[in-house]
Amino acid sequence: MHIPLIHGLAWIMHRIRHGEVTFSIVRGTPPEGAGIDLAPTYLVWIAVVVLPYPACRWFADLKRRRRDAWLSYF
């Protein structure tokens, strides 16, 4: 769950700062100034840990309550 969240946050941040996203992992290189400093990195890290917590807690409770076969894959 954290990988799509990180990708989405990076896309939104880059879109706000540069107006468009013109590169990807498979082609192109990031423009100058595409990264962020260490302090905002820690804030993003905290957000990536805190934001999915309610959904993960809900899913853990669901797995505890139910024994459906599809839940065994997670």
Torsion sign across C-alpha atoms 48, 2, 22, 19: negative
Q: Hey, what are 68's tokens?
A: 């459906």
Model pTM?
0.58
Q: Is a pLDDT exceeding 70 seen at residue 73?
A: yes
Q: What is the pLDDT of residues 9-59, one digit of tens each?
A: 888 887 888 777 766 666 667 667 777 889 988 998 998 899 899 999 999
Torsion sign across C-alpha atoms 12, 55, 37, 7: negative
